[in-house]
Chains A and B, each alone.
Chain A
Amino acid sequence: MKMKKSLVSWALVAGCTFSGAAMAAPPTPEMLSYACAGCHGTNGSSAGLSMPSLASQSKSAIVDAMKKFKSGDRPSTVMGRLAKGYSDADFDAMGNFYSKQKFHPTTQMVDAAKAKKGADLEDANCSRCHIDQGKDGKDDTPVMASQWLDYLKMQAELYDSGKRKMPKDMADKWNKLSKEDREALLHFYASQK
């Protein structure tokens, strides 16, 4: 009997109202940022070797990257198309969100000798901006530690081909390094956690 009654009420609620739709607030930082995780991993901790972790990046690193994707200043595949869908305020919100997420340490196969050589090179060349072995993002300097080696290599290729522009301070150092030294640096950063 109870069942029959509920069937009747099914019919009655058909076409019920959309509760809450009219009063919805603008997208929160979470609303904007969760959507990125399909490619960048939950809370920006990437499990995919060619995709960077966004977790614990500084706010300005995220905002700067998104603005450059949007303008085409930084080369990309889907990122430029996606960045055009957001405002500067959205970028700020995403930057805020990802800067608060816990650093994502990765365990990856790196060449120990290269990583060791990279440690010395890093100290002399990179550590003024990429502080704390690349674990800390200062201003718009990205967190390098624990990024996947594949991703780091793809970015280095973009720099070396001239497609991605380097900040002048970085170019002054990077351009003086040999191919082997550059690779050693990438192994070093990938190994840091």
Chain B
Amino acid sequence: MTLDRRSFIKLVGSASGLALAGCATQGPAVSAGSAADIMPKGSARRVVVVGGGYGGAIAAKYVRMLDKSIEVVMIERNDHFVSCPFSNLYIGGLIKDLDPLTIRYDKLTANHGVKVLQAEVTAVDPAAKTVVTTKGTLKYDRLIMSPGIDFRLEEMKGYDAAAMDLMPHAWKAGPQTVLLRKQLEAMKDGGTVVMSVPLAPYRCPPGPYERANMISLYLKQHKPKSKLIMLDANPDVSSKGALFKKGWKDNYANIFEYRGAKKVTEVDAKNRSVIIEGIDEVKGDVVNVIPPQRAGRIAVAAGLVGDDKNWCPVNPTTFESAKHKDIHVIGDACIAGAMPKSGYSANSEAKICAQNVVALMNGKPTTDMSGINVCYSYVTADQAISVAAVYTVKDGKIVGVPNSGGVSPIDYSQAKSEAIYAHSWLKNILTEMST
């Protein structure tokens, strides 16, 4: 049995062409799971949720809020979760430690009866309706996956685990975030910081540009002779462009340099340099490489990604996978039409999915989706800009409701209020996930 299970996992891995080694900086590498059924299913129907981040924690909580007769098991590799939102403020020095960005799950259990299993999910068997974890297997009636992202390292030559320790991505919050901050602190005044941005779509479209603001702020305050160069694979700033550019001109003109259509394809970790399309080499004292991304590798291993081999196509009403029945994919990993890959989107998608999962499990009609995204980006110590939108389904696709939504006024007249609201947004969304 154990052997069978191992060969099954191997097969799944090779069938999807997935490189199983060296993707993550957090948690164990994918390895063979254990075959024993660790949570034998009783008579209650069961939803298993993979991931305890912006999507998963909310999906788990809302399924329980909507139907207490459904057992919910949330599987997360870590015993805590560190928010990417606001991690750029830590890098810039506006937040002194990661505590305000960190949540735990004990109240989800106490308040809602969500069962939390700390384990790595190593395989999914859609036919047998089981997930395999490092601690054993579990059966499910419906599975909700919100595993976030992993990196397309095959498109970033030389960027292995050792290179990540020298040139952090900090695109999953935690030790990588702390490392980038430490490197900035250790850098001499007059040094050069280099950031590389992948082609869209990637997690958090405005995230790299907000990070540029926060690094520039730090340099301006503490190392004013230093420079930050951004090499963006996109032809132009891919989110809130006019607003970001105004922010750079008004605040960081002597520090920050933006270069569009510069696709970094290779790194030289020993030399602390990045290489653009195999030709131009750009060297930095601190280098922040944000690699191209795809759905978290468990979504790839489970055969949930579509023709692009990167992201998971889903039904826009239920977020049920277009590939496998009874499996739903939410958050960064899924293709949610016009909804960006953001924490707010993941939160909204989780609730839409939870409501329709509960409806489907009770033989009730599903409900059309209505979703929201709001993303704040900090520009200076006390100014932020935002993008906001309401989403609906039209002709089978998620679209923004016409004539609604949009970005902050270009004159920054609301930027101080938005900086205040951004803090309350974080507090509320993290409280939602953890209570």
Contact = CB atoms under 8 A, between A and B. Distances in A.
Interface of A: 1-7, 9-10, 13-16, 18-21, 23-28, 30-32, 34-42, 46-51, 77-78, 81-86, 90, 150, 154
Interface string B412-434: 00100110110111111101100
Interface string B354-378: 0110011000011111111010000
Chain A CB within 10 A, most for which of B15, B414, B424, B427: B424
A86 B408 CA distance: 19
A38 B323 contact: no
B360 A48 contact: no
B360 A19 contact: yes
Given A20-B366, A21-B317, A47 B427 contact: yes
Given A10-B303, A21-B315, A31-B369, A3 B404 contact: no
Contact of B62 (A5, A34, A48): A34
Interface in B297-352: 303, 315-318, 320, 322-325, 344, 347-348, 351-352
Given A20-B317, A23-B366, A41 B431 contact: yes
Chain B contact residues: helix, strand, loop or mixed: mixed
Contacts of B391: 85
B4 A1 contact: yes
A10 B126 contact: yes
A82 B126 contact: no
Contacts of B390: 35, 82, 84-86
Contact of A77 (B125, B344, B408): B408
A171 B324 CA distance: 60
7 contacts: A7-B12, A23-B366, A34-B355, A38-B348, A38-B374, A78-B374, A82-B404
| A-B residue pairs, 6 tightest by C-beta | A85-B390, A48-B424, A85-B404, A6-B127, A84-B404, A85-B401
A38 B368 contact: no
Given A34-B355, A78-B388, A84-B403, A27 B427 contact: no
B389 interface: yes
Contacts of B401: 84-86
Contacts of A14: 303, 323-324
Interface string B372-409: 10100000000000101111110010001101111010
Contacts of B318: 18-21
A86 B62 CA distance: 23
B371 A49 contact: no
